[in-house]
A and B are shown apart, each in its own frame.
Chain A
Amino acid sequence: GAGVSQTPSNKVTEKGKYVELRCDPISGHTALYWYRQSLGQGPEFLIYFQGTGAADDSGLPNDRFFAVRPEGSVSTLKIQRTERGDSAVYLCASSLETTTEAFFGQGTRLTVV
């Protein structure tokens, strides 16, 4: 595909459950970013990858959140023991390399009930 793809587009889960959110970046993009956005707020940085490694994970709110990018392309954001406060839109972006134009997916709306 031509753009960044995120699946699922919507996810409703019960409190305490585990969820995985997937991001397919643009082919060839080495940098991949995860953000979380609540209503009326700007995107909040979570983590970014350069290749397979997490270059900066300082935005992950706690140890329930984890992300991987094992082959340097697709990334998965994993949230354990979900809480209602985790409800938000999770955005993924990729760029050819860091400091170049970043392209965003349409996001996954996570609702924890």
Chain B
Amino acid sequence: SQQGEEDPQALSIQEGENATMNCSYKTSINNLQWYRQNSGRGLVHLILIRSNEREKHSGRLRVTLDTSKKSSSLLITASRAADTASYFCAQWSSWGKLQFGAGTQVVVTP
């Protein structure tokens, strides 16, 4: 079974627009990570946010974490065609297990 759920399942936007996706999870976490997967196979680590952090930035990425609601969001600003990919959140449980949600497929059209 998967720990988290991403919302929406799919997102289609135009270049220059912002993309927001959300992740909810079920159990307490140590930290939460976001990954990107282009068509193909490798997952690329984007950002890690710890359970005692509320917001983190990396370039055009902004991640928030609300542990009271067991949710996180990923915002991609000024999207580019190269941002077309699937995005996954993953949670580290306190006993060291890293679990993924089903992902959000993002398509950015020129």
Contact = CB atoms under 8 A, between A and B. Distances in A.
Interface of A: 31, 33, 35, 37, 41-45, 48, 50, 55-56, 89, 91, 93, 98-107, 109
A101 B102 CA distance: 19
Contacts of B100: 35, 42-45
Interface residues of B, number: 24
Nearest to A6: B41
Interface of B: 2, 30-31, 33, 35, 40-45, 48, 88, 90, 92, 95-103
Nearest to B102: A42
Contact of A107 (B30, B41, B44, B103): B41
Contacts, number: 63
A99 B43 contact: no
B103 to A, nearest CB: 5
B92 A98 contact: yes
A44 B30 CA distance: 19
A109 B41 contact: yes
Given A37-B41, A104-B44, A106-B42, 5 more contacts: A42-B2, A43-B43, A45-B100, A55-B96, A104-B45
